[in-house]
């Protein structure tokens, strides 16, 4: 299965690069995959093999219409239309990693209770780059279940700066 995800991700990378809008497609697909990942009903609808392929693709097109590039809509619709809706988050995650690797960067997925502005994202990227000694690109996922703070995941490394984690550390110290 990992081989299929790798092939799909490589193909997406080639398509987005050939269209000349890799960064925008990467960002839009990342956000769409997180939405799919966080919505059980949507994920089930996009992965339902009983649903005709054109209907699954139409769902994607309806969701992304006027919110993304045509390339992004076509790629996402193609993935779910080809019956890979259940693999969409994994395919996109690998695609984002490959795109960052092409730029000799690593991706940090940062979960925050609130949206972060561009200046905050930039400061976070600089701090994570300093901490890891790697060039880091930050992808923010708003996660309202966090009480506050952030959780950054870079590969296998997790940096937990949430309020809950800090309270647990304080509890252990006391």
81 and 38 share one domain: yes
Q: Name the average pLDDT for the chain.
A: 88
Q: How far apart are alpha carbons 4 and 160 in whole angstroms?
A: 32
pLDDT band at 3 (very low <50, low <70, confident <90, very high): confident
- Give the model confidence (pLDDT) of 41-89 as tens digits: 999 999 988 889 889 988 998 899 888 999 999 999 999 989 898 999 9
Q: How far apart are alpha carbons 74 and 27 in whole angstroms?
A: 15
**Residue 1, pLDDT score:** 59
HSE, side-chain direction, 13 A CA sphere, residue 26: 25
Inform me whether the pLDDT recorded for 119 exceeds 90: yes
pLDDT above 70 as % of the chain: 99
Domain that holds residue 60: 2-99
Tokens at 39, concatenated: 């919505």
**Residue 172, pLDDT score:** 83
Tell which of 46, 64, 99 closes a domain.
99
82 and 126 share one domain: no
12 and 81 share one domain: yes
109 and 68 share one domain: no
- Give the model confidence (pLDDT) of 4-53 as tens digits: 899 999 999 999 999 888 889 998 999 899 889 888 899 999 998 888 98
74 and 123 share one domain: no
169 and 125 share one domain: yes
| Count of structural domains, the chain | 2
81 and 10 share one domain: yes
If you average pLDDT over residues 160-171, what whole number do you get? 78
């Amino acid at each position: 299965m990992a081989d299929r995800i790798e092939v799909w991700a490589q193909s997406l990378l080639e398509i987005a690069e050939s269209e000349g809008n890799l960064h925008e497609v990467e960002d839009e697909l990342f956000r769409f995959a997180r939405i799919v990942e966080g919505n059980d009903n949507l994920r089930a609808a996009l992965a339902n093999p009983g649903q005709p392929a054109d209907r699954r693709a139409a769902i994607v097109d309806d969701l992304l219409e006027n919110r993304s590039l045509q390339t992004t809509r076509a790629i996402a619709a193609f993935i779910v239309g080809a019956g890979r809706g259940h693999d969409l988050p994994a395919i996109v995650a690998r695609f984002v990693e490959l795109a960052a690797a092409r730029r000799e960067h690593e991706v940090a997925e940062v979960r925050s209770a609130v949206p972060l502005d561009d200046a905050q994202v930039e400061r976070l990227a600089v701090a994570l780059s300093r901490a890891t000694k790697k060039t880091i690109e930050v992808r923010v996922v708003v996660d309202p279940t966090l009480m506050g703070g952030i959780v950054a995941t870079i590969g296998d490394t997790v940096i937990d700066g949430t309020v809950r984690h800090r309270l647990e550390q304080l509890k252990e110290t006391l």
